Amino acid sequence: MNARPLALLLGFVAAAHAADKFTITTTNDSGLARPAETIAVKWSDVNAAMPHALIQHIAVKDEAGHALPFQVTNVNPESKDPQNIGIAYGELLFQHDFAAGEKRATFTVERTDAIAPPFPTKVFARYVPERLDDFAWENDRIAHRTYGPALAAPDSEHRGKEVLVTSGLDVWCKRVTYPIVDRWYNKGHDHYHHDEGEGMDMYNVGTSRGCGGTGIWDGHSLAVAGNYVTWKVIANGPIRAIFELTYGPWIVNGIKVTEVKRFTVDAGHNLDCIESTFGFDGAPELTVGIGLNKDSADKGQDPHPTVTKNEAQHSLAQWEPQKVNGDLGEAIILPANFSGFAEDKVNQLILAKVAPGNPLRYFVGAGWAKSGQFSSEQEWKSYVAAEAARIAAPISIAISD
């Protein structure tokens, strides 16, 4: 064989080898500690680096060669894909714990002959028709729920059905890392108001904003939507859950407003990312208030909450000491569009200006002393400050052969 065909053959072999593996380099210029940092790579970039990859036949490995749990989001499950390029897929997700001062971490993605195993799920979201259209979600640290049309419907047959009209967001406090939403609903409504070892629902929402609900602020009062109208689950673990809730319409000073909330819930974090997109005509912009209930504690807990408003961080934090249930922290971080703070009778508010159709991104969540994660107000405030700094300085991602 002469030199030219041999060189071509070696080139083909090298190309084939390169297509079976590629490298992801993540850069953390800030040097901040970033526990459970979610690394998201567009599947179109994965397919460009490793054409026709099958999600059940890949492995993601760290620099030491350890296989990592991963997830591929399926954003368009009805898409046909005859060329096997993954057009239904959104992103490849995995996580890394950046230590303080760790500015770079590299990972490899490679084809495998073996089938990738299912990974234990750390996040979960679902519609709960058996409890009056609740929608509930959780990760390995905290859980939440909100309320749907069935709960808002009147008790027309006078059977004692619970009625509550609210778009506030509830908190379920966990002291375990495994999923509890299904277990608690199966236990029955009364049981999850008592801590039987896994945590409890001790948070009162009522008609407040709860932990991160929204409304339109006119400078004096907050006009709010009713219960969510429709729901859609987009991704559901093991690392990230994504879902949408639709609200409205409701009227604000003669303007009809609608809202779509997209929630991104990642494992290992107490704060979820929410993107709210408001629809309205008749005004170039409106002011949105994102709220925390001033007094969410159960009866008899005698809380004396303290509030921290941090203009530099664009954050609003609250700490509620309680007699026996365990202290509770709540927080909102608003990376952009910050327009100050306000309050009404029941809510502390952080304000943002929004234009119609432009998503408003913010982070909302809670932390419970009995979870073992936070033992004091200062620890909660430090966590919120660290999350605000992390959000303000995202990592960068590069792909190479």
Shared domain for 236 and 383, answered yes or no, is yes
- Backbone phi, psi, residue 334, to 5°: -120, 95
202 and 336: one domain? yes
Q: Would you state the structure tokens that stand for residue 179, as one six-digit string?
A: 């999923």
- Could you say which DSSP state residue 323 is in? S
Asked if pLDDT for residue 30 goes beyond 80, the answer is yes
User: Of 54, 60, 109, whose CA–CA distance to 401 is shortest?
Assistant: 109
Residues 239-251: what's their mean pLDDT? 97
The pLDDT value recorded for residue 16 is: 44
Structural domains in the chain (count): 2
Average pLDDT for 356-373: 97
Question: Same domain, yes or no, for 82 and 151?
Answer: no
Ramachandran region of residue 390, left (φ > 0), alpha (ψ -120 to 50) or beta? alpha
pLDDT in tens, 306-360: 999 999 999 999 999 988 899 999 999 999 999 999 999 999 999 999 999 999 9
153-185 residue pLDDT tens: 999 888 888 999 999 999 999 999 999 999 999
Contact 272, 242 (CB under 8 A): no
Say whether both 381 and 338 belong to one domain.
Answer: yes
d(CA 166, CA 347): 13
DSSP per position, 237-256 = -SSEEEEEEEEEEEEETTEE
Nearest to 260 by CA among 230, 288, 236, 238: 230
At residue 158, the pLDDT reads 86
Residue 83 lies in a domain: yes
Instruction: Tell me 169's DSSP state.
Output: B
Q: Mention every residue, 6+ apart, whose C-beta is less than 8 A from residue 376.
A: 327, 369
Residue 300 is predicted with a pLDDT of: 77
Q: Do both 148 and 105 map to the same domain?
A: no
Q: Residue 232 belongs to a domain with what CATH number?
A: 2.70.98
In angstroms, the CA 346 to CA 145 distance is 19
- Is the same domain home to 249 and 101? no
Q: What is the pLDDT of residue 189?
A: 60
Peptide bond into 238 cis (omega under 30): yes
d(CA 212, CA 171): 10
Taking only Cα atoms into account, the Rg of the chain, rounded to an integer number of angstroms, comes to: 23
Rounded to a whole number of angstroms, the distance between the first and last alpha carbons of the chain is: 29
Among residues 95, 119, 143, the one where a domain terminates is 119
User: Which residues contact residue 236 at a Cβ distance below 8 angstroms, ignoring those fewer than 6 apart?
Assistant: 121, 123, 124, 125, 126
Closest CA to 165 of 216, 208, 223, 226: 226
**Dihedral angle, C-alpha 96, 97, 102, 107, nearest 10 °:** -20
- Tokens 């079976």 correspond to 20
Q: What residue numbers bound the domain in which 70 lies?
A: 18-119
Domain boundary (119, 150, 177) is at 119
The model's confidence at residue 192, banded by pLDDT at 50, 70 and 90, is confident
* Residues 104 and 178 reside in one and the same domain: no
Same domain? 107 vs 24? yes
Of 62 and 6, the structure prediction assigns the larger pLDDT to 62
Q: Of 61, 77, 73, whose CA–CA distance to 116 is shortest?
A: 61
Q: Is residue 1 part of a domain?
A: no
Residue 273 in any domain: the answer is: yes
Over 60: is that where the pLDDT of 1 sits?
A: no
- Return the percent helix, strand and coil in the chain, to nearest 5: 15, 40, 40
Same domain, 254 and 155: yes
The whole-number average pLDDT for the span 193-210 is: 94
Round the average pLDDT of the chain to a whole number and report it.
93
Evaluate if residue 6 carries a pLDDT over 60: no
Read off the tokens for 71: 């997830």
Helix (H) / strand (E) element for 176: namely none
15 — pLDDT class (breaks 50, 70, 90): very low
81: domain CATH number is 2.60.40.1180
Q: Is the CB of residue 70 less than 8 Å from the CB of residue 239?
A: yes
* 9 belongs to a structural domain: no
**What is this structure's pTM?**
0.93
Residues 6 or more apart from 344 whose CB is under 8 A from it? 221, 222
Cα 205 to Cα 145, 212, 355: the distances in Å are 10, 11, 28
Q: Is residue 239's pLDDT more than 80?
A: yes
Both 141 and 234 in a single domain?
yes
pLDDT at 18 over 70: no
The pLDDT of residue 8 is above 70: no
Q: Is 123 helix (H, G, I), strand (E, B) or coil?
A: coil
pLDDT average, residue stretch 96-108: 98
For residue 4, what are the contacts with CB-CB under 8 A and spacing of at least 6?
none
The CA distance from 45 to 61, in Å, is 17
Last residue of a domain, one of 76, 101, 119: 119
Do 154 and 88 lie in a common domain?
no
How many angstroms separate the CA atoms of 123 and 120, rounded? 9
